[in-house]
Amino acid sequence: MIRTPLRPLARILAARSKGENPETIERENIRLRHEKMRDKSRARAEGRLLVLAAIFVVAFGAIGLRMGAMANTDPSEPRGTASSAPILAQRADIIDREGRVLATNLEVFSLYAQPPQMIDAERAARELVRIFPDLDGERLLEDFTGSRKFLWIRKKISPEQKQAVHEIGDPGLLFGPREMRLYPNGSLAAHILGGASFGREAVSGAEVIGVAGVERMFNDYLNDPAEQGKPLQLSIDLTIQSALERVLYGGMKLMNAKGAAAVLMDVKTGEVVAIASLPDFDPNDRPRPAVKGDPTDSPLFNRAVQGVYELGSVFKIFAVAQALDLGLVTPFTKINTRGPLKWGRFKIRDFRNYGSELTTTKIIVKSSNIGTARIAQMIGAERQQEFLGALGMLEATSFEITEAKGGKPLKPGNWSELSTMTISYGHGLSTSPLHLAAGYAMIANGGTRIRPTILKQDGPQFGERLISEQTATAARVMLRGVVTEGTASLGGVPGYAVGGKTGTADKPRERGGGYYDDKVLATFASMFPAHDPKYVLVVTLDEPVETSGAKPRRTAGWTAVPIAAEIIQRVAPLLGMRPEVEPGQLAGITLTSN
Amino acid sequence: MTEMVYGTIPVHTSEPVLPKWWRTIDKWTLSFILILFGFGILLGLAASPPLAAKNGLPPFHYVQRQAIFGGMAMIALFLTSMMTPVMVRRLAVFGFLLALLGLVMLPFFGTDFGKGATRWYSLGFASIQPSEFLKPGFVVVAAWMMAASQEINGPPGRSWSLILTVTIVMFLALQPDFGQASLILFGWMVMYFVAGAPIVLLVVLAMMVVLGGGFAYNSSEHFARRIDGFLSPDVAPTTQLGYASNAIREGGFFGVGVGGGEVKFSLPDAHTDFIIAVAAEEYGLVLVLVIILLYVGVVVRSLWRLMKERDMFIRLAGTGLVAMFGVQAMINMGVAVRLLPAKGMTLPFVSYGGSSLIAMGIAVGMLLAFTRTRPQGEISDIWRGSGK
């Protein structure tokens, strides 16, 4: 318990002894002490308040002085500061595998004015309007003669325009350096390069930033001063890219397709030598993303990398290769192909009736859905899923452009036995053409996993082995058979022993509910030369229809295959491959005797 | 007899309210405030049309709103200033409790308007920031506690007020709103200083603030980025600060002329946090100095009158209110001239702001109520007050 002392004790005691109430005395005492205290504290507070007021006055005074000092200095232009490195010519070039320029910088100039330094504002305005007819002369004159101290006139002018402005000779017109991204090849490899735009802008320069493709993926690298402008070398070959795009474009028009994609890949290194998606765009003047319509129809959409489709029968070779590797079948095993194959309510049919049984090789050559589905049944869902996963078919590719992340395969939520059967012939699993090319590269290189890359590599990739050399060879023999005697008979290119597999997949309806009857995605996945493949080429056409015959033809054999053959014919010599021609009869010389 | 029949004529034992108010109010401070508000409207005419255009509103939408809220703020100011200190104290305690409740409930019902800090309640037509209303209430409550602790046999009010301060500061730091938190802390420290804090303790507290700031710098990215922006030797020209300082330079001594400014087009906060930059650009240093003088006038006048005040509570509460008012203005302008790190704080009565304007009106109303001339006890005091 805290005792409160009785104060003043003497008087209280005296009052108590007299029988009076001591409370009043105590209260009076408190009042007096309080008063004294209050005076004391007030005296102290007075001093402190004075200090406080002085502090405020000084602080406000400091702000006022600073304000005055700032008002007294000349306005600086919005100039890039010394602390941030100069922006000029910082972004590295992008070159192709032979060192040819794919993207570089062009030095241009920005034009701005400092009206106080102007000598003849009227003439300057008049002359400027003569050089840049879209400027408003009156507005310009108003700005020049008003109280403004700085204004932008143009953010980008060419050297010729700069010279013309220079010749006006007015000291109030000034130039700032500026760097702009230039793609000298126009729309060539547009989807790979992507495009660039301005980030931070100032008088002394503007920062260039990548908005798509490798420009965006390697933005930090390209802008990194530590790399000292070392160019970024891609695996693309400019000439081959050009030939491929050219042929693909012509083929797309001939086949009345609404889009097309092609991938040409080195089977050992995984380097993508050429890759195209049509329609395309000019990265120098990158269009804005469309706000309406299907985004996958936009020219900006990269069908080869971003687009995932059910690619159809081209997948059959994976099921067959796996079954061969597991020892479930040999190329000569007879498989029951009596149709239709019923699974619950679902029926699997072939394009034509191929009889009651076919060998494994024939299943590929004739492209039998039923036969492939039966082989897939032998493999089983789990092993199939594992194999396709190891092949990289179930995740986005590691391809080094930003859009690759968007190319994430669509796989069934529940990998049932029916899914196993449909996936074996390329339905129920959607992948990009690039995935497919990587898968075929695996078969082409003798059975090791390939990860596609856009950067130039020094040597082959040593991916994990997925199938044995013998299996890969057997699979290639089958693929060669497809071209020599099967569905891709138009794919033969003399001297290059093309092997491959066609795929004609009905397109699923956008709103669900089955497939279109008259819209297909035609694909031809090929490798050449089949006995020792160097390159894999995948050509995909979106909704092609070939109308030269009596009936419109949509199958890949009639649409994608001839285009692929034409591409191979054009690019193989450019790739430095010699045709393997049987020495034919030499003109006019006959062997008469030994 | 007449009186017995007709009743007595009502006798006013005290002076009528309005004449008494007019006689005792600090007319200088009142007129300074009104002039500041007028400048606010004038600058709003220049600063807010670009924003209104951006939001697709009629050009003077924000000016109209400012006038409406300003009118409400002025009513609040006048009403509050007519109250007696006791009345002010009672209402302020209620208001404080309400605002505190609002502050505590913010994480559950508040909105951040996409600005990264949950500080507001959205009411549809306007938004309310509880911490704005909390500030004047807090000052009064803390002053009351401190004054009570000076009574003989009084409660330990100083410790209570410290606990209260720390609690509020913590809640504000959680939002995070370090600006208001430091303002509250500053208000408490000023009151404690005037209430007679030992000097040693003040030094220790100042050190603690430094340490706390260091901690906040290390733990909050939001906070750290603003400090970094301040400490970097050269400001990037396309930041808010860059535009603001350039606008001040552009304006020079007499400005580029009414409506000729450019900064309002580049600064998203031209009508609130950087209104002084607009003033400097369009009207030049002259207007800025006038505005600074007006703030100094309010602060010094009020402190001068509080020096003569005998009552501990009134003196403390008045000091706290005027200190917060002054510091808020100082921080706002200090940021624009880059003497202080960027901190979103409005310029009292000049910046655009709905509920904060009303809160400020209430706060200054309280200040005026506290600084009214009143009899100061004994004859010696009156002598002292009138300069002997």
* Separation CA A475–CA A445 (nearest Å): 11
**A541 DSSP β-pair partners:** A260, A522
Domain total of chain A:
2
pLDDT for B377 equals 62
Pair A253, A226 in one domain? no
With CB atoms and an 8 Å threshold, state whether B326 touches A70: no
Domain span holding position A338? 240-282+301-574
CB B138 within 8 A of CB B168: yes
Interface touch B303/A49, C-beta < 8 Å = yes
Position A82 scores a pLDDT of 38
> Per the domain annotation, does A66 fall within a domain?
no
B13 CB within 8 Å of a chain A CB: no
Residues A214 and A244 in one domain: no
DSSP summary character for residue A76 = P
Tell me whether A340 touches chain B (CB under 8 Å): no
Tokens at B220, concatenated:
């909050």
**Residue A44 contacts B, CB cutoff 8 Å:** yes
Reported as a single tens digit per residue, the pLDDT across B208-239 is 888 888 887 777 776 776 666 665 545 555 56
Spatial CB neighbours of B273, under 8 Å, sequence gap ≥ 6:
B240, B332, B335, B344, B345, B346, B351
Give yes or no for residue B159 having a pLDDT over 60.
yes
Contact A55/B at CB under 8 A = no
Binned at pLDDT 50, 70 and 90, residue B342 comes out as: low
Provide long-range contacts, Cβ within 8 A and 24+ apart, for A210-218: A211/A286, A212/A286, A212/A300, A212/A401, A212/A402, A212/A403, A213/A283, A213/A401, A213/A402, A213/A403, A214/A94, A214/A400, A214/A401, A214/A454, A215/A94, A215/A103, A215/A181, A216/A401, A216/A402, A217/A400, A217/A401, A217/A402, A218/A400
Same domain flag for A139 and A104: yes
Residues A450 and A461 sit within 8 Å (Cβ to Cβ): yes
Asked if this assembly's ipTM is beyond 0.85, the reply is yes
Residues of B in contact with A50 (CB under 8 A): 303, 307
Same domain flag for A227 and A245: no
Q: How far apart are CA A43 and CA A39, in angstroms?
A: 6
**How far apart are alpha carbons A113 and A444 in whole angstroms?**
63
Q: Cβ contacts (< 8 Å) between A81 and chain B: which residues?
A: 234-237
Same domain, A141 and A219: yes
Same domain, A440 and A335: yes
* pLDDT at residue number A322: 92
At position B376, the amino acid (one-letter code) is: Q
Amino acid A579 reads P
Q: What is the pLDDT of residue B381?
A: 55
SS3 of B156, please?
coil
Of A60, A77, A81, Cβ closest to residue B295: A60
Predicted pLDDT of residue A314: 92
CA separation for the pair A316, A318 (Å, rounded): 5
Q: Residue A584: left (phi > 0), alpha (psi -120 to 50), or beta? A: beta
Residue A127 within any structural domain of the chain: yes
Across the A:B interface, residue pairs with CB atoms under 8 Å apart total: 137
For tokens 């100094």, name the residue.
B296
Residues of chain B with C-beta less than 8 angstroms from the C-beta of A48: 193-194, 196
Q: Quick check: is A375 in a domain?
A: yes
Half-sphere exposure at residue A106, Cβ-oriented, CA atoms within 13 angstroms: 15
Q: Say which CATH number the domain at A568 has.
A: 3.40.710.10
pLDDT over 90 (residue B369): yes
**Is residue B154 within a helix (H) or strand (E), and if so which, with residue range?**
none
Q: Of B152, B188, B276, which to mutate for an interface test with A (greatest number of A Cβ within 10 Å)?
A: B152
Residues of B in contact with A149 (CB under 8 A): 250
- What single-letter DSSP state applies at residue A359? E
Tokens of B189: 């420290």
Which CATH number is A131's domain given? Answer: 3.90.1310.10
Residues of chain A contacting residue B285, judged by C-beta atoms under 8 Å apart: 67-68, 71
- CB-CB neighbors (< 8 A) of B303 in chain A: 49-50, 52-53, 56
For residue B281, pLDDT over 80 is answered with yes
pLDDT of residue B387: 43
- Whether A411 is covered by a domain: the verdict is yes
**Diameter of chain B measured on Cα atoms:** 88
Q: Which residues of A394-416 are buried (b: 16+ CB within 10 A; e: fewer)?
A: bebbebbbbbbeebbbebeeebe
Q: How far is it, in rounded angstroms, from Cα A207 to Cα A214? A: 17
Task: Return the residue of A nearest to B334 by Cα.
Answer: A63
Q: What is the pLDDT of residue A581?
A: 75
pLDDT of residue B77: 93
Per-residue pLDDT of chain A (594 residues; tens, 9 = 90+): 566 666 777 888 888 888 888 788 888 888 888 888 888 888 888 889 999 999 999 999 999 998 888 888 766 555 444 334 444 457 888 999 998 999 988 888 888 888 888 888 888 888 888 888 888 888 888 888 877 778 888 877 888 888 888 888 888 888 888 778 889 998 899 999 988 887 666 666 677 788 888 888 888 888 877 777 788 899 999 999 999 999 999 999 999 999 999 999 999 999 999 999 988 999 888 887 776 777 778 888 899 998 888 998 999 999 999 999 998 998 898 988 887 888 888 888 888 888 888 899 988 988 888 999 999 999 988 999 999 999 999 999 889 888 888 888 988 888 888 889 999 998 889 999 999 999 999 999 988 999 999 999 888 888 889 999 999 999 999 999 999 988 888 888 888 889 999 999 888 887 777 788 888 999 999 998 888 899 999 999 999 998 888 888 888 889 999 999 999 999 999 998 888 876 665 566 666 676
Chain B, nearest residue to A33 by Cα = B152
Co-location of A166 and A217 in the same domain: yes
Q: Does A200 touch chain B if contact means CB atoms closer than 8 Å?
A: yes
A27 to chain B, any CB pair closer than 8 A? The answer is no
A147 vs B contacts (CB less than 8 Å): 256-257, 260
The overall longest dimension of chain A from CA atoms, in Å, is: 165
Say what the pLDDT of residue B326 is: 93
Are both A204 and A256 inside the same structural domain?
no
Rg of chain A over Cα atoms, rounded to whole angstroms, equals 39
- Whether A77 maps to a domain, the answer reads no
Of chain B residues 121-150, which have a CB less than 8 A from chain A? Answer: 150
B369 within 8 A of B85, measured Cβ to Cβ: yes
pLDDT at A274: 94
Tell me: pLDDT of B361 over 90: yes
What burial letters (b/e) apply to A538-577, b meaning 16+ CB within 10 Å?
Answer: bbbbbbbbbeeeeeebbbbbbbbbbbbbbbbbbbbeebeb
Give the dihedral sign, CA A215/A218/A219/A225: negative
Residues A334, A199, single domain; the answer is no
B48: pLDDT strictly greater than 90: no
Distance from CA of A198 to the nearest CA of B (A): 14
In one-letter notation, the amino acid at residue A144 is F
CA distance B11 to chain A (A): 33
Number of neighbours of residue A418 by Cβ within 10 angstroms = 18
| Residue that has been written with the tokens 């693909």 in this structure | A248
**Is residue A495 domain-resident?**
yes
Q: Report domain extents, chain B.
A: 17-374
The answer to the question of residue A44 being in a domain is no
| A31 vs B: CB within 8 A | no
- Name the minimum distance, in Å, from the CA of A169 to any CA of chain B: 26
With beta carbons less than 8 A apart as the criterion, state whether B37 and B349 touch: yes
pLDDT of residue A25: 82
Q: What is the DSSP letter of B254?
A: T
**Which among A52, A142, A198, A200 is the top mutation candidate for probing chain B, defined by the most B β-carbons within 10 Å of its own β-carbon?**
A52
Nearest CA in chain B to A83: B234
How near does any CA of chain B get to the CA of A219, in Å?
Answer: 22
Inter-chain residue contact A53 with B299, CB threshold 8 Å:
yes
Task: Mark whether A208 and A246 lie in a shared domain.
Answer: no
Bond into A529 cis (ω within 30): yes
Is the CB of residue B195 less than 8 Å away from at least one CB of chain A?
Answer: yes
CB contacts under 8 A, A 123-162 vs B, are 146-150
A203 and A347 together in one domain: no
For A378, the token pair is: 């032998």
Q: Which two tokens stand for residue A155?
A: 């953010």
Evaluated on CA atoms A183, A184, A186, A188, the torsion sign reads negative
Distance CA B308, CA B302 (A): 10
The whole-number pLDDT of residue A86 equals 47
